[in-house]
A and B are shown apart, each in its own frame.
Chain A
Amino acid sequence: MKDELDKRLDNQPDGPERRGSLKDIPVREELLPRWVKGPEGQEYVVEPLQDYFCQAGPTVQTPAYTRIIEDLFNWARAESLWILGFGTGCGAIEMRPLMTPRFDAYRYGIQWRPTPRQANLFVISGYLSVKTLKRAIRSYEQMQNPKYVVGLGSCTINGGMYWDSYNTIKRLDDYLPVDLYITGCMPRPEALLQGFDDLKKLIRAGKAEGANHYAEHFDWYKANQKRVIKDWDMPDYSW
């Protein structure tokens, strides 16, 4: 990660000077390779990042069925949006009213799931700091194909009011494949419902293939992610 930064600094007029002030990030202790003694006395090396995680990247999952069945599935996916309960920014507060009697998003087949395994819609609700981006990427990757991402509010589109902040990203679609943006700062719950309605149309039309796009352009996304996440201490793809 430091090489990446070095390369970028070389293009700056005062780059070499600033490079000297950058510090190395130590790898977390539990992620360092370590020697382990087996039950019969033999010793071997455990490298947590290599050994504990599957190293394979995502693959493109083609719709393997006939047109009619795929349409049926797309209809079901559209009518059963399970949102990952992960509030990343201030927009999370706009999601709560959707569960209440006034808006009642459950009417439209929208539910909240507490675990990424069961969710198929990830709402990035507002600004995303680098630290949260790391968690958002891991959560997104643990969701199962097909999955959708909705960017909520101006912060996900162009940085919004955090455009000059030292630790928030400005374009969400550089890091995750976004199917739909909902503008506003913050968008009202009605805007969210309208956005979900538009997302349903996209899904029914078979145009929401963000997960496959992510798999196809995996290297590009990873390069972008690693450019801002400087302490990359997780596997490249979280299964």
Chain B
Amino acid sequence: MMQSLYDRLKDRFNLGEFTGRRADLAFVTVSREQLRPLLLHLRDLEGFTHLVLLTAVDWIEDDTFQLTYLLNDRARARDIGVRLMLPRDDTQMDSIHDLWPTAATYQRELREMFGIDFPDSPRVNEDFILEGWVDIPPYRREFDTLRFARETYPERPGRETHDPATYMKQQLYPDGEDNG
């Protein structure tokens, strides 16, 4: 089902790589210029009326951000994920809040958590979850979360960690016998 959809749209929107996950779930890659026409086509002509989510992945090794627009076709119970690769040094993207108003919220989150800017998106520069964040956006992979937590929030001494498997084994079978 998804393969035939891809074949039909491939040349028209100059689609990139196709990844079929299940019969009703597939991902395609698209260029920035073709994103908007493709989304419009999917929404208005192919029945993908619902924007499930808009999220990002930080491929720091390839120096790119991957934006994923996940769309759902409720009538035929299928999903398509539209991937878009964005260079990490030019993190500006076109807003799609006029296609799906909910996208504005996702774009606000991406702006805050990844530092990907969506000019013209409503309230995109307001605080979303974090308040008074001064460091680099926390979901970028060069942000060292553990170090930040250690530096910022004082710890209470005496915290121990155990490997759950060995610890529970010790607790349950202190003699080292596993009779179970």
The interface of chain A, by Cβ under 8 A from chain B, is 1-2, 5, 8, 12, 18, 21-25, 130-131, 134, 157-159, 163-171, 174, 227-232
Contacts and interface: CB of A to CB of B under 8 A. Distances in A.
A166 B131 contact: no
Which interface residue of B151, B152, B153, B159 has the most chain A CB atoms within 10 A?
B153
A163 B155 CA distance: 8
Interface of B: 129-136, 138, 143, 145-146, 148-149, 151-156, 158-159
Instruction: Please indicate which of the listed interface residues B134, B138, B155 has the most CB atoms of chain A within 10 Å of its own CB.
Output: B134
A8 B134 contact: no
A131 B130 contact: yes
Given A164-B145, A165-B145, A22 B134 contact: yes
A170 B131 contact: no
A170 B155 CA distance: 6
27 contacts: A2-B134, A5-B134, A8-B151, A22-B134, A130-B131, A130-B132, A131-B130, A131-B131, A158-B156, A158-B158, A159-B153, A159-B159, A164-B145, A164-B149, A165-B145, A165-B149, A167-B138, A168-B153, A170-B149, A170-B156, A171-B154, A171-B155, A227-B152, A229-B132, A230-B132, A230-B133, A231-B131
B132 A231 contact: yes
Nearest to A168: B153
Contacts of B156: 157-159, 170-171
Nearest to A229: B132
Contacts, number: 67
Nearest to B153: A170
A21 B154 contact: no
B130 A167 contact: yes
Given A157-B156, A158-B159, A171-B156, A163 B149 contact: yes
Contacts of A167: 130, 138
A178 to B, nearest CB: 12
A228 B152 contact: yes
Contacts of A24: 134
Contacts of A168: 153
Contact of A166 (B145, B154, B155, B158): B145
B136 A21 contact: yes
A18 B152 CA distance: 14
A5 B133 CA distance: 12
Contacts of B154: 170-171, 174
A134 B131 contact: yes
A1 B135 CA distance: 13
Contacts of A159: 153, 155-156, 159
Contacts of A2: 134
Nearest to A158: B156
B129 to A, nearest CB: 7
A166 B159 contact: no
Nearest to A25: B132
B43 to A, nearest CB: 35
A231 B134 CA distance: 9
Contacts of B136: 21
Contacts of B138: 166-167
| Top 5 A-B pairs, shortest CB-CB distance | A231-B132, A230-B132, A158-B156, A22-B134, A170-B153
